[in-house]
């Protein structure tokens, strides 16, 4: 009989309301990566986080012309204004990213670039995927520098998933040995993110950020 291990949670009662945004950016009509974005969101919620999926395609920001901060107060497009508030209110972020020709997905990068100060002083984790066995590792690496430059603390743990369709079924549930490995690696990743979310929140309460 197969033994199913429970999802681990190290959260205390005070940390049950951690607000985590899971950001995903594919615009393709057949989006295999959405399985992973939904998996991440569900797993974080199961650990006690207030996890919300931000789908760049659904948000529908235009190609970057003016950043949010470049609009006079109250004049930014409604979708941009709403997302700015969600980012400011978040305790941490998970970027779920595919890999296009050794690079990042333009949809997710475009959404991210509309904001700057809104990201500051919170931790971010990166979960990448691809149709092949490398699991989006090159895109994963590129996002580390980008998110650091945008004022986030990028955690050292990471998750790479590939081939994504052999790891998660159409409902975003793990399948086979690859799915079991994902569950194990994601637990470590989430523990790392938890630690930094709690540390960053405590520091912000102790001392205001310098800028």
Domain ranges of the chain: 13-206
Residues near 94 by Cβ (< 8 Å), separated by ≥ 6? 20, 21, 22, 23, 40, 44, 124, 125, 126, 127, 193
CA distances from 152 to 26, 64, 118 (A): 22, 20, 10
Please tell me the distance from the alpha carbon of residue 132 to that of residue 114, in angstroms, as a whole number: 30
Please say whether the beta carbons of 36 and 125 come within 8 A. no
* Strand 92-97 relative to strand 19-24, pairing: parallel
Token pair listed for 162: 């590939």
pLDDT given for residue 177 in this prediction: 97
Instruction: Give the domain 13-206 fold.
Output: Rossmann fold (3.40.50)
* Strand 103-104 relative to strand 92-97, pairing: unpaired
Please say whether the beta carbons of 208 and 29 come within 8 A. no
CA distances from 187 to 10, 15, 75, 81, 171 (A): 11, 17, 41, 33, 20
Cβ–Cβ contacts within 10 Å for residue 70, how many?
Answer: 9
Please say whether the beta carbons of 147 and 124 come within 8 A. yes
Please say whether the beta carbons of 21 and 73 come within 8 A. no
pLDDT tens per residue across all 211 residues of the chain: 333 344 444 444 444 589 999 999 999 999 999 999 999 999 999 999 999 999 999 999 999 999 999 999 999 999 999 999 999 999 999 999 999 999 999 999 999 999 999 999 999 999 999 999 999 999 999 999 999 999 999 999 999 999 999 999 999 999 999 999 999 999 999 999 999 999 999 999 999 999 8
């Amino acid at each position: 009989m197969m033994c199913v291990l429970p999802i681990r949670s190290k959260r205390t009662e005070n940390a049950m309301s951690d607000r985590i945004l899971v950001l995903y950016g594919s615009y393709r009509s057949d989006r295999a990566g959405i399985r992973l974005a939904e998996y991440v969101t569900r797993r974080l919620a199961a650990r006690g986080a207030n996890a919300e999926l931000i789908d760049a395609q659904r948000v529908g920001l235009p190609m970057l012309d003016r950043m949010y901060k470049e609009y006079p107060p109250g004049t930014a497009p409604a979708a941009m204004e709403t997302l700015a508030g969600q980012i400011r209110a978040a305790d941490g972020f998970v970027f779920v990213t595919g890999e296009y020709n050794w690079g990042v997905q333009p949809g997710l990068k475009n959404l991210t670039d509309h904001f700057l100060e809104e990201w500051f002083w919170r931790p971010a984790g990166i979960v990448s995927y691809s149709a092949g066995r490398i699991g989006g590792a090159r895109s994963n690496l590129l996002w580390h520098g980008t998110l650091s430059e945008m004022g986030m603390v990028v955690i050292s743990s990471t998750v790479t998933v590939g081939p994504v369709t052999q790891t998660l079924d159409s409902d975003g549930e793990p399948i086979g040995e690859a799915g079991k490995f994902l569950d194990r690696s994601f637990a470590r990743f989430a523990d790392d993110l938890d630690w930094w979310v709690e540390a960053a929140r405590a520091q912000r309460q102790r001392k205001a950020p310098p800028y």
